[in-house]
Structure 1
Amino acid sequence: MAEETSPLRERLIDVGVELVLAEGSGSVGLREIARRAGVSHGAPRRYFPTHQALLSAIARRGFEDLAARFEAAVAEPVSARGQLEAVSRFYIGYALERRGMFELMFRHDLLDSGSPAPGRPRLRESTLPLFRYAAELVARCRRERDAARGAGGPGETEPPPSVTGAALWSNLHGLAQLWAWGSLPLALGVQGLGDASGEDQRDQLIAAVLDAHLGPVSS
């Protein structure tokens, strides 16, 4: 377990995070990490025997950062719907601010999501809690809605919260990617990243996504 808290290991991950944010995950290699960290080419192999292991450690940093932002987003005691809206805004904001990391974090075809070496945490232990949290917010939204309507429970045709949460996540992820790629700003007539209307347009899109999956907010 001492390896997990090694200063050199953390330094190598720091360098990897900087590379991903500046140049994307395709720029990250063990030799380049070693060069930028000022260590021998073989040093990273002590902690990261494979390229997957290195990328996974970098991605875990991203999930830790995103989880901290989610906690900040829901710090205020508001409704579940309000919390889900705040989390959605933070998710989109993270995608636009840290594009390289965002694109890496969900590429589980590139990452080591299974069983790593003994004593090392699995990447799924950083990723799945965020999804379960989103599904729980969906469930809370439904309970609050049903309580407001005086209903006894969810409608017969409603899918499980996990399915709705997955669909909601897919929509938000697509929104983030299409905005980052410039497709949605073009379609909506946003002139550039500095256009003041851009944030308002994103908020409207988030509201539309939530309405589509949770129903509109009752007046």
Structure 2
Amino acid sequence: MVGGIVSIGTPASAAATPNDTVSIAQARTGTGTTQAHHLLPEKPCKHNCNTKPNKNTKPGNTQGGTQGGGGGNTQGGTQGGGGGNTQGGTQGGGTGNTQGGTQGGGGGNTQGGTQGGGGGNTQGGTQGGGTGNTQGGTQGGGTGNTQGGTQGGGGGNTQGGTQGGGGNTQGGTQGGGTGNTQGGTQGGGGGNTQGGTQGGGGGNTQGGTQG
């Protein structure tokens, strides 16, 4: 048995010669020799089989920081944009509200810092624009308000700083060119109609306070 390998079932007195092979039949009958076979390690997955990249993400976006409210709300129907946008910081309200139907824009926009209100409000139907805009800093109010039907414009605009009041219709359309400041504060009592259309060219200041 010097240098040999004894198969399972081979008598202890039987000698085996080196490098002999053994068949299944020999192994069953207790003759011949067996050779040890080492198990090879499994080959690693070369293509990251367990992870798949998310094709729907865009770098640097923050969308819909907080969404909450009562029964029957519709909040943030569509949220989208380019890189580095912050959209819909806080969205909340009471029963039956519709807030932020569509939110979108280019790079570096801040849209709809805070949206909230009472029952039956419609706030910020469409919010959109170019680069560097600040639109709808605070939108809020009482029951039955319609605020900021359409908000949009070019680069560097500030539109609709504060919108609030009971039963008002404020800022039907807000838009303009570069560097405009429109509707710093909009507020009032019941049943008012303020600022049907606000627009202009570069560097204008329109409607500092409406009330």
If the TM-score is normalised by the length of the shorter chain, which range does it land in?
A: under 0.3
More strand by share: 2
Greater Rg by CA: 2
Higher relative contact order (CA 8 A, sep 6+): 1
